[in-house]
């Protein structure tokens, strides 16, 4: 059964028509001949969608729609009108209707509309659940939000790494949230009461980076009019976060390595060394192991920095987190702007889910901020999204490795397990994505577990 429909019309013939027409499409139809009876039925049974005639004796369709929206928010109501006027349609939408149809009703078109309404309700339920999930204390996670397997691994590793004072290297593509990991490590560490000092090594000119990190004495170089403490000293008793550490030039890498090994620095132009005491966390969007093997990064420094390594997954591998994060960013942008934007339409959610997100979480956040700023609706529509999302068509991940030569059965098994992992083990959702019914999926999984799913003989 695809869903349960409540049909409301004071003409029994219309109820019989809808019941007969929707049955072959997999819907169970319950009919009532008045608005009052429909409200009583709603108080006793959970329906997925309500179809109601506009003009009925007693309580009309618009009044019924208004009461349903108050009593059962989120339940889609489709109004059937025999007049086809724009005024009636506008009144229905204002009353809270999901959509309207004109008589005579085309049953196939009605079935498609009902399917969209039920999907819309399911999506809105999921978004409400997601919104509740993000309303937890974010202090320990420093704003790292997600329920996917990949991000849960990161969240599980952070408290373990935070307990130690050894260096941590956070790797990941630009925009994945590496600084959030660094802040979470600091907040959960024994030095949480000390300062957290972040610096983007790529944003500082090479000629000034040594002075920025280790400090300098007055007159050490042109424009050095005063003695200045470096970031290692400023972070004393806390955490120093070096973002884009792979951009540090080779000449300065040896100085950084000596600092890590001995816990002492020599400011530029100074004759004496200074002891430093801070936790070092670094981040990079490069593969420093490859950089070290190619001679572009000191291998001894790499191993010193990567005592513990945390890899932030790209957003394209966190499909289950996209809507969670999108709703969070939408709520934040709506609150900041003072505009009432409460959610998104189903086409918007589909577009967000299928997009590749080359800019990762940062791109998603910017997308939601832009959409909230430009929309004229309470729920985002496709036209509110950037053109690259509207024009996007799902395509394979260009970074994915090509599949090894294997039998069709092996490829199918791998794909089914990959889909199950992506949807957190939700077999109903996996079956929908795979284009098979649940019983077929269950049978295949049982065969995989028994090891009996073998290639048929040629």
pLDDT of the residue at 404: 38
More confident residue, 152 or 185: 185
What are the structural domains of the chain? 3-133 (3.40.50.2300), 151-311 (3.40.50.300), 315-390 (1.10.8.60), 408-450 (1.10.10.60)
Each residue of 43-65: b (16+ CB within 10 Å) or e?
A: eeeebbbbbbbbebeebbbbebb
pTM of the model: 0.60
Tell me the average pLDDT across 336-365: 88
pLDDT of the residue at 252: 92
Of 144-158, 397-411, 443-457, least confident by mean pLDDT is 397-411
**CA distances for 340 relative to 258, 334, 335, angstroms:** 55, 6, 8
**DSSP 8-class letter at 312:** P
Tens-digit pLDDT profile for residues 95-114: 788 888 888 888 988 999 99
Of 299-308, 313-322, 369-378, least confident by mean pLDDT is 313-322
More confident residue, 82 or 205: 205
Q: At which residue do the structure tokens 């400011």 appear? A: 267
pLDDT of the residue at 77: 92
Tell me the average pLDDT across 355-359: 92
Indicate whether 458 pLDDT > 60: no
Task: Place 39 in a pLDDT band, splitting at 50, 70 and 90.
Answer: very high
pLDDT of the residue at 394: 45
* Radius of gyration of the chain, Cα coordinates, nearest whole angstrom: 30
CB 52 within 8 A of CB 64: yes
pLDDT of the residue at 83: 63
Return the percentage of the chain with pLDDT > 70, whole number: 83
């Amino acid at each position: 059964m695809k869903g349960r429909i409540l049909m409301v019309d004071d003409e029994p013939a219309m109820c019989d028509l809808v019941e007969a027409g929707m049955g072959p499409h997999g819907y169970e139809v319950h009919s009532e001949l008045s608005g009052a009876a429909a409200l009583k039925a709603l108080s006793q049974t959970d329906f997925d969608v309500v179809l109601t005639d506009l003009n009925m004796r007693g309580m009309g369709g618009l009044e019924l729609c208004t009461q349903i929206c108050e009593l059962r928010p989120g339940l889609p109501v489709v109004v059937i009108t025999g007049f086809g006027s724009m005024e009636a349609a506008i009144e229905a939408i204002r009353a809270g209707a999901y959509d309207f149809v004109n008589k005579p009703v085309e049953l196939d078109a009605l079935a498609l509309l009902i399917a969209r309404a039920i999907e819309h309700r399911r999506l809105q339920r999921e978004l409400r659940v997601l919104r509740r999930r993000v309303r937890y204390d974010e202090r320990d996670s420093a704003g790292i939000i997600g329920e996917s397997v990949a991000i849960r691994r990161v969240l599980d590793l952070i408290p373990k790494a935070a307990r130690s004072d050894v260096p941590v290297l956070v790797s990941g593509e630009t925009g994945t949230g590496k600084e959030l990991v660094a802040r979470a490590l600091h907040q959960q560490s024994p030095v949480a009461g000390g300062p957290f000092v972040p610096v983007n090594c790529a944003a500082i000119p090479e000629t000034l980076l040594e002075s920025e990190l280790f400090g300098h004495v007055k007159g050490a170089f042109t424009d050095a009019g005063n003695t200045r403490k470096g970031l290692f000293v400023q972070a004393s008793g806390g955490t120093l976060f070096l973002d884009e550490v792979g951009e540090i030039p080779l000449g300065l890498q040896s100085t950084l390595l000596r600092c890590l090994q001995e816990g002492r620095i020599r400011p530029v132009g100074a004759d004496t060394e200074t002891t430093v005491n801070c936790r070092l966390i670094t981040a990079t969007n490069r593969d420093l192991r490859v950089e070290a093997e190619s001679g572009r990064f000191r291998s001894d420094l790499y191993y010193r920095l990567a005592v513990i390594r945390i890899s932030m997954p790209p957003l394209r591998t966190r499909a289950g987190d996209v809507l969670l994060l999108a709703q969070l960013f939408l709520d934040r942008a709506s609150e900041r702007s003072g505009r009432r934007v409460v959610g998104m339409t189903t086409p918007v959610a589909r577009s967000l889910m299928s997009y590749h997100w080359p800019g990762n979480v940062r791109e998603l956040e910017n997308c939601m901020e832009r959409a909230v700023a430009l929309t004229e609706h309470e729920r985002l529509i496709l036209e509110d999204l950037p053109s690259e999302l509207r024009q996007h068509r799902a395509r394979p991940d260009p970074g994915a490795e090509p599949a090894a030569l294997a039998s069709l059965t092996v490829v199918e098994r791998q794909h089914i397990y990959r889909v199950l992992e992506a949807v957190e083990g939700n077999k109903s959702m996996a079956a929908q994505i795979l284009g098979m019914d649940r019983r077929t999926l269950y049978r295949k999984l049982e065969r995989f577990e028994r090891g009996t799913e073998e290639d048929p003989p040629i």
